[in-house]
A and B are shown apart, each in its own frame.
Chain A
Amino acid sequence: MAPRPAHSWRWLLANFLKREVSSRYTGSVGGILWALANPLVQLALYAVVFGVLLRAPADALGGWRFPAFLAIALWPWLMFGDSVKRAMDCIPANTSLIRKVAFPHELLIVAAVGGTFFIHLLGWAAVLVALRLWGEPVSFGGLLLALPLLAAQFAFTLGVGAFLAALQVVLRDVEQAVGLALTVVFYATPIVYPLALIPAPYRDYLALNPLAYVVTRYRDLLSGAGGWQAGDLGVIVASLATLAAGLWVFRRLSPWFEDLL
């Protein structure tokens, strides 16, 4: 393929991103508000089921009320889970483009993950403000400290999304398996329960899950308690490694997409 200046691909990425964000809500009156409504309903359901009916122990919540405890982790989870789903959808959804136009296919993944992060970041920010107004001890200085971890989570998600999206083109089973796996990972991540509820030996295994690590750290940092830890650097390095591996697989397979779709 003819080499093209990088700036033109940036402009294409900007277009893909715009399309990714606006296409979800084009034609609906509520528009981007639906991006907030959907997680809010989930939040309400989990808050009732796990906070009221099953009564999560208040002393293990790190000083948060349960809805706040839940909300701080739920949006970052959606950034991951929704992004993976969107990344896996975006290759089949753009089959006609891939078969007719030469462009770097990873831009589609970056747009899918980037667009999803953007939407849920807005939602997260709005919810954090609401929690603050509700009297929860949300520290916005802590939010700034959380940004490197958020960036690491983005890189991790991008790597996983690229890996699964490429794999799925060759093996159709992946889509089914990922649907199940996401449900398992959701409950394997301390979102609707505190990590302290897990018996000690298993807790260590669970901590290997980078998502478990980052959501726990978001709660710590947002409560204004403490700064960066050595483990943060480890997660950042691991996330970048995941990104590199995911992109390697994606680039290995993407020249064959046209054959396989």
Chain B
Amino acid sequence: MSDVLVRLEGVGKDYPLLASGASRARMLVSLLAGHGATSHATALDGIDLEIRRGDAVGIVGENGAGKSTLLKIIAGVVKPSRGAAVTNGRVGALLELGSGFHPDYTGRENIYLSSALMGLSRRETEDKVEAIVSFADIGAHIDEPIKHYSSGMVVRLGFAVATALAPDLLITDEVLAVGDESFQKKCMRWLERYLGDGGTLLLVSHSMYHVQTLCRRALWIHHGRPRLAGTAFDVAREYLTYHEEKTRAARETAPAAVSGTQPRLEKIWLERASGEGAATFALGEDIVLRGIAHEPDDRTPALLFGIVRADGTPVFGSLSIDAGYAATRLTECRYGFAVRFPAAPLLPGKYEIRAHVLEPEGLRLFDTIETAFVVTGETRDFGLVRLAHEWIPGRDAPDAEKTG
């Protein structure tokens, strides 16, 4: 059997817009003629993905980014509008646990039905029923109609059925977010063992913890298009950074509470030495903080910056007037300022930098803006910053002769 389980090349998906009866009639003619759908909204575009046996790939993205559509294409539920989608091997899709269940049937009867739906033969099903029942662990309820089940019990049974299939590729859509704590742990243990045994996993999750622990690679889909593909760790970090920026942007656009008669900060941003804006810096790279302050009396304001680690531990801070620094007057009442950290010695991790504006005497603090940034790199140093240091030749203690 081929080693490549899934290969997507330039896959896209459009959904038809069928507001009116006439558009449905045109659609019918077009489909019968083999021309595909007529007018449409694009849900997914330009997705390339290859999944090999033993891979564990995470798909991340905001709600509505097209993640579920992508999974449906791979599971064979949806036909892609563009590109080529090839799937080999048995695909087990947990798109919605228990979706094949019939409410009037007992749990046991539903095991038969949904096993058949997943492609198991009668004999395979009969071999596995007891294992499914014991994994689901819902006791005597197994012989009661599903409609009397709690939603948690349905999920347990659904997961038990899907996993019993022992698929070549397991597709899961947020299934780890359901069920109670102990069942989630059971699922995680099962998934870890499945991966350890050489299983292949495609996981959609909003939990970067799950993506980082279970997956090796990840794909970030943004508005239906691939935004970043790489190691699960990198993608998860970038995705989290994106969300932090988004949250901050929402905060910044909120109307400022400060009155127009007090100094305030218009904006701050971070740059590389080259002047390019950035939120991620390599270990040892120059970092430049720039900002624009507003001083209503058109007097040069005093400024203060502080760097804290993501957990709030202060790293360093300093006041502009202590360094005799005067901000540059840009236009009336507007002053630009910048601080450069040459070869910033911050160790890899997430940080926040805050800027504050004070009145010219530097006694009262009026406004604060903060921005997050990430330092990347590989080092075995630990702590907050790399202190300037050198390893030098050793010698005995100065008083060794006297005491010895």
Could you tell me which A residues sit within 8 Å of B by CB distance?
1-2, 4-5, 7-9, 11-12, 14-15, 19, 23, 26-27, 96-103, 167, 170-173, 249, 252-253, 255-256, 258-260
| CB contact list, B85-135 vs A, under 8 A | 87-91, 93, 95-96, 99-100, 102, 104-105, 112-113, 116-122, 125
Interface pair B120/A101, CB less than 8 Å apart: no
Distance of A172 Cα from B119 Cα, bound (Å): 31
Shortest beta-carbon distance from B287 to chain A in Å:
48
User: What residues of A have a CB within 8 angstroms of the CB of B113 in the complex?
Assistant: 15, 19
- Residue contacts A-B, CB under 8 angstroms, 13 given: A2-B76, A8-B116, A8-B119, A11-B122, A15-B116, A23-B102, A26-B104, A99-B77, A99-B99, A100-B99, A167-B28, A173-B21, A260-B18
Any chain A CB within 8 A of the CB of B246?
no
Interface of A is mostly: helix
Any chain A CB within 8 A of the CB of B226?
no
Distance of A152 Cα from B32 Cα, bound (Å): 26
Any chain A CB within 8 A of the CB of B27?
yes
User: What residues of B have a CB within 8 angstroms of the CB of A5 in the complex?
Assistant: 121
The chain B residue sitting closest to A26, CB to CB, is B104
Distance of A12 Cα from B117 Cα, bound (Å): 6
Contact indicator per residue, chain B 66-96, by CB within 8 Å of chain A (1) or not (0): 0000001001111100000001111101011
Residue of B102, B117, B121 touching A103 (CB-CB under 8 A): B117
Distance of A206 Cα from B173 Cα, bound (Å): 55
Distance of A26 Cα from B104 Cα, bound (Å): 8
Any chain A CB within 8 A of the CB of B15?
yes
Any chain A CB within 8 A of the CB of B65?
no
Shortest beta-carbon distance from B309 to chain A in Å:
44
Any chain A CB within 8 A of the CB of B24?
yes
The chain A residue sitting closest to B120, CB to CB, is A8
Any chain A CB within 8 A of the CB of B229?
no
Distance of A99 Cα from B73 Cα, bound (Å): 11
Residue of A2, A23, A253, A260 touching B87 (CB-CB under 8 A): A2
Shortest beta-carbon distance from B226 to chain A in Å:
22
Interface pair B79/A256, CB less than 8 Å apart: yes
User: What residues of A have a CB within 8 angstroms of the CB of B21 in the complex?
Assistant: 171-173
Shortest Cβ-Cβ A-B pairs, 4 listed: A1-B76, A102-B76, A12-B116, A100-B99
Residue of B16, B18, B100, B116 touching A100 (CB-CB under 8 A): B100
Any chain A CB within 8 A of the CB of B195?
no
Interface pair B77/A170, CB less than 8 Å apart: no
Contact indicator per residue, chain B 30-66, by CB within 8 Å of chain A (1) or not (0): 0110100100000000000000000000000000000
User: What residues of B have a CB within 8 angstroms of the CB of A100 in the complex?
Assistant: 77, 93, 95-96, 99-100
Interface pair A11/B78, CB less than 8 Å apart: no
Shortest beta-carbon distance from B350 to chain A in Å:
38
Residue of A1, A171, A172, A259 touching B37 (CB-CB under 8 A): A259
Interface pair A252/B90, CB less than 8 Å apart: no
Residue of B15, B31, B89, B105 touching A170 (CB-CB under 8 A): B31
User: What residues of B have a CB within 8 angstroms of the CB of A96 in the complex?
Assistant: 96, 99
The chain A residue sitting closest to B118, CB to CB, is A101
Residue of B31, B90, B105 touching A253 (CB-CB under 8 A): B31
Distance of A4 Cα from B75 Cα, bound (Å): 13
Interface pair A259/B95, CB less than 8 Å apart: no
Shortest beta-carbon distance from A221 to chain B in Å:
37
Any chain A CB within 8 A of the CB of B339?
no
User: What residues of A have a CB within 8 angstroms of the CB of B79 in the complex?
Assistant: 255-256, 258
Q: Which of B93, B100, B113, B119 has the most CB of A within 10 A?
A: B119
Interface pair A4/B90, CB less than 8 Å apart: yes
The chain A residue sitting closest to B168, CB to CB, is A2
Any chain A CB within 8 A of the CB of B25?
yes
Contact indicator per residue, chain B 300-340, by CB within 8 Å of chain A (1) or not (0): 00000000000000000000000000000000000000000
Interface pair A23/B104, CB less than 8 Å apart: yes
The chain A residue sitting closest to B94, CB to CB, is A100
Shortest beta-carbon distance from A167 to chain B in Å:
7
Distance of A19 Cα from B106 Cα, bound (Å): 12
Distance of A101 Cα from B24 Cα, bound (Å): 25
Interface pair A7/B93, CB less than 8 Å apart: no
Interface pair A2/B89, CB less than 8 Å apart: yes
Shortest beta-carbon distance from B3 to chain A in Å:
15
Q: A1-B76, A27-B104, A170-B31 are in contact. List 17 more A-B contacts (CB 8 A).
A: A2-B89, A2-B91, A4-B119, A5-B121, A11-B125, A15-B117, A97-B99, A97-B117, A99-B77, A100-B95, A101-B93, A101-B99, A101-B117, A102-B76, A171-B21, A252-B34, A253-B31
